[in-house]
Amino acid sequence: MKPKVILYNPRSNAAGKRILPLSLLALGAVLEGRYDYTLVDGNCEPDPLATLRAQIHNGANVLAVTVMPGPQLAQAVPHCRALKNEFARLTVVWGGYFPTQHADPCLRAPYVDLVIRGYGEMGLLALLDALALGTNHRTIAGLAHREQDGRVVQNAPGPMPHPGNLPAYPYHRLEMERYIRRTFLGSRTLGHHTSYGCPHGCNFCAVVNMAHGRWLARPAQQVAEVARLYAQQWGVNAIEFYDNNFFVHEARSAEFAERILLMGLAWWAEGRVDTLLGYSDQTWQLMADSGLKMAFMGAESGSAETLACMDKGGTLTPEMTLAIAAKMRVYRIVPEFSFVLGTPPDPERDIHETISFIRRLKAVNPASEIVLYPYTPVPLGGELYDAAQKAGFRFPTTLEEWVSPEWIAFAERRNGPLSWVPQRLRQRILDFQRVLNAYYPTRTTTRLARVRGAITRAASAWRYHTGIYGFPLELRLLGKILPYQRPETSGF
């Protein structure tokens, strides 16, 4: 069979925000000139199912789908089910974070033929070569398949490709103007991805199953060349780097900052508190001068004990988070901190300590952006996952259960089946978040939004200062009139 491929990115967010589909571009780069392929981005298509049907009628016979849990999974399931029912000979291949962690439920569904676990570039290329030659594809590294008796077989993951050795992205395959948007960073913001993996093993992070402690990155020169391309070809004035951990190597960060000093770009990236705290003042000044406006970091908890359970203990402490917040205040770079609340086995203690810590953090640097998530297990084992299982937590065994409302909420970290967190604690988190967001409205919005923020700050001041968060009915009402806007660069 001569493969003709559709690379499909299902809709990834309910708001319809158009984020450059970098995973499809990475796959397309290795297929370019070797196989006939089309990119279909569900975030841009008014009716992606109709577009997919048209491509299949036009001869496409392999549908390769990148799947994240949440909205993408909710669209991938019905679309693949419908297409497989209509086109029985269509080969449906899933890849991405969700199939890497949950290959078994994927392959229990009759509308998913194969799964590629881990980084998909080389695995997909090897699969297409096998299909083209009619050779056995079941031994391909990273492939998971279903035997005739229904048993799921998962091959060992393939090696992580070095992004510095991969071909350039085929930007010409997309209407790039669709993806340029206004953000806190700039009027013409575009995303990019410069590295794979992360050298750390936090046991609540989905990256661990894919990276296994490795981090490989494009050299600073290549990253700066892409930044220059963005600026010159599409008039981009801000870049969001979606790396799992952009700042692993200080020399690379400093070189990149130096190379873009005169480009007039603003930028945002994600890193670790302990890593960035080790950067020299010279590198911090260079990054600030180059346009770094905000850095996202996982503070995760105000409890040293919880951080240790997350496998962050020993390298990250709450005091380090306070220190990095103070340092970034000096350089006028906004720190954006995520916190994971309600970890087992004692979610009440964890929530109390983290709320108290966030108040300390805001006193050190009021500009700090705070993003709160409930703890959601990943199938890595470890103390937290084991405690969640003891409390009755189990992952779904079918895709149909995964796309139920409660598990979509779980995947989006909006609550869901967290049996160890009673409702009163969930409500405490929501009430605190409402008061916090009202008293410290995000600084990453328009001038009009900042005026609205002054109103909510005045209305919430008594609650914040007294620590009385319960039943904030007046703030709920005010939130309907003046809705809170989370930082534009958080979440993608």
Residue 489 scores a pLDDT above 70: no
Tell which phi-psi region holds residue 475, choosing left (phi > 0), alpha (psi between -120 and 50) or beta. alpha
Tell which phi-psi region holds residue 17, choosing left (phi > 0), alpha (psi between -120 and 50) or beta. beta
Assigned domain for 418 exists: no
Mean pLDDT, the chain, as a whole number? Answer: 91
Same domain, 205 and 313: yes
**Which range (157-171, 234-248, 450-464) has the least confidence?**
450-464
* Secondary structure class of 298 (helix, strand, coil): strand
Residue 283: CA count within 13 A, CB half-sphere: 15
Same domain, 260 and 297: yes
The tens digit of pLDDT for each residue in 309-359 reads 887 655 789 999 999 999 999 999 999 999 999 988 899 999 999 999 999
Residue 490 scores a pLDDT above 60: no
Token digits for 314? 């020993």
Assigned domain for 174 exists: no
pLDDT for 411: 84
DSSP state, 312?
A: -
Three-point CA angle 65, 66, 67, nearest 5°: 110
pLDDT for 414: 75
Same domain, 88 and 232: no
Residue 465 scores a pLDDT above 80: yes
Residue 46: CA count within 13 A, CB half-sphere: 0
Q: Decide the pairing of beta strands 189-192 and 152-154.
A: unpaired
Which one-letter amino acid corresponds to residue 17?
A: K
Query: What is the model's pTM?
Result: 0.92
The tens digit of pLDDT for each residue in 392-419 reads 889 999 999 999 999 988 888 777 788 8
DSSP state, 163?
A: G
Same domain, 385 and 459: no
Domain count, the chain: 3
**Which range (40-49, 376-385, 417-426, 431-440) has the least confidence?**
376-385
Beta-strand ranges (E) seen in 215-342 are 215-217, 238-241, 266-271, 292-300, 334-341
- Residue, of 151 and 487, whose pLDDT is higher: 151
d(CA 339, CA 432): 13
**Which range (113-127, 337-351, 379-393) has the least confidence?**
379-393
Assigned domain for 449 exists: yes
The tens digit of pLDDT for each residue in 66-98 reads 999 999 999 999 999 999 999 999 999 999 999
d(CA 152, CA 148): 9
* Secondary structure class of 8 (helix, strand, coil): strand
Same domain, 380 and 456: no
Residue 352: CA count within 13 A, CB half-sphere: 5
| Other C-beta atoms lying within 10 Å of the C-beta of residue 138 | 12
| Other C-beta atoms lying within 10 Å of the C-beta of residue 133 | 10
Assigned domain for 248 exists: yes
Domain boundary among 120, 154, 188: 154
Per-residue pLDDT band for 445 (boundaries 50, 70, 90) equals: low
Q: What Rg, from alpha-carbon coordinates, does the chain have?
A: 23
Cβ atoms of 24 and 7 closer than 8 Å: yes
pLDDT for 485: 55
d(CA 325, CA 323): 5
Per-residue pLDDT band for 379 (boundaries 50, 70, 90) equals: confident
Average pLDDT value for residue range 88-109: 95
Domain boundary among 390, 414, 449: 390
d(CA 128, CA 130): 5
Q: Is the peptide bond before 345 cis (omega within 30 degrees of 0)?
A: yes
Same domain, 105 and 225: no
Assigned domain for 422 exists: no
pLDDT for 491: 31
Average pLDDT value for residue range 280-295: 98
* Percentage of residues of the chain with pLDDT beyond 70: 93
Assigned domain for 406 exists: no
Average pLDDT value for residue range 376-399: 85
Same domain, 124 and 201: no
Which domain covers residue 472, as residue numbers?
437-492
Q: How far is CA 172 from CA 7, 100, 164, in A?
A: 15, 29, 20
pLDDT for 181: 94
- Residue, of 467 and 488, whose pLDDT is higher: 467
Same domain, 225 and 134: no
Average pLDDT value for residue range 231-249: 97
DSSP state, 89?
A: T
For residues 245, 250, 254, 255, the Cα torsion angle rounded to the nearest 10 degrees is -90
Same domain, 137 and 12: yes
Same domain, 363 and 464: no
d(CA 295, CA 328): 9
Domain boundary among 154, 189, 206: 154
d(CA 469, CA 78): 41
**Which range (27-36, 292-301, 339-348, 383-392) has the least confidence?**
383-392
Q: For residue 203, what is the domain's CATH number?
A: 3.20.20.70
pLDDT for 307: 87
Q: Is the peptide bond before 69 cis (omega within 30 degrees of 0)?
A: no
Same domain, 129 and 46: yes
Cβ atoms of 145 and 107 closer than 8 Å: yes
Token digits for 351? 């929530």
Assigned domain for 341 exists: yes
Listed residue (32, 330, 51, 44) closest to 174, CA to CA: 44
Cβ atoms of 95 and 421 closer than 8 Å: no
Tell which phi-psi region holds residue 90, choosing left (phi > 0), alpha (psi between -120 and 50) or beta. beta
Cβ atoms of 487 and 295 closer than 8 Å: no
Assigned domain for 428 exists: no
Same domain, 10 and 97: yes
Residue 108 scores a pLDDT above 50: yes
